[in-house]
Amino acid sequence: MRIGFLGLGGMGLPMALNLVRAGHEVSAWNRTSSRADAVRAAGGQVAGTAADAAEGAELVLTMLADDAAVSAVVFGDEATEGFLRALPRGAVHACTSTISVALSRRLAQAHAKHDQGYVAAPVFGRPQAAEAGQLTVVAAGAPAARARCREALEALGQTVHELGDDAPAANVVKLAGNFLIAGMMEALAEAFALGRKSGVDAAKLLEILNGGLVRSPLYQSYGTMMAQERFEPAGFKLSLGLKDMRLALAAADAAAVPMPLASLVHDHLLSGAARGWGDRDWTAMSRILSEAAGL
């Protein structure tokens, strides 16, 4: 399949490489062009612009940081030529980024006007999972568009969950999932603060609780990073976690759903960003709870 891949950050680059290894004809683009060198070395092609990557493609995948980046690459801005008009009729755009429900709906409408398919296909997993092709993908959109990109999505993830015809539903699931992880971190950070203030080692506390009470790989992986205060290098930046909580709260507001825990997590992440911790892993939120406890 001829695939344009846009966005070669910590997640996007290994995803693009996995598509090349799966035998797809990949044309990759990134604002920082040197990031595409690895794709070329693996046998892929490098496009000069996002529009060039979409020219003649059957499928375009985007993995970009936020709404602004996705909007610029699709619709264009002062610095970027958007690919919307370059993508052939009948081709599909699968957006794997974590974006707002509102932007996802706008993308679906814009692609429909250009006789193109659109699939919201956000992914769960950190860069290590992307490298191993073990992401979890949630895909929603018209059946024909989902079928068109299924093979490519299977090259990226160990599981592809198809959610139905309404593309923004996949974005709701992604935001709900990231909120759930953030809520887990909030609870674990508070438990660690209580333990540490009471003279209990955080690693031992995690061993006891996750050994019998919880038994969760998420508690184990995130909890170990929090117990060791291993916040760099970031697998998922605190600034991106803050963005996701803003998107979750916006979706909740639009649906008239109170999410008080999401508001609390948002404020703790905002506090971390205000301290200049935006580039640290979002597990650094636990340090905020420790500082609040006088640790």
Question: Rg of the chain's alpha carbons, rounded to an integer?
Answer: 20
Per the CB < 8 A criterion, the answer to whether 168 and 118 are in contact is no
Task: Answer whether 100's CB lies under 8 Å from 127's CB.
Answer: no
Cα–Cα distance for residue pair 61/155, rounded to 1 Å: 13
Task: Give backbone dihedrals phi and psi of 214, rounded to 5 degrees, phi first.
Answer: -110, -55
Pick from 90, 103, 151, 141: which is nearest to 119 by CA? 141
- Catalytic site residues? 174
Q: Of the candidates 158, 175, 217, 159, which has an alpha carbon nearest to the alpha carbon of residue 67?
A: 175
Beta bridge partners of 26: 3
Residue type, 132: A
The H-or-E segment that residue 158 falls in is: strand 157-164
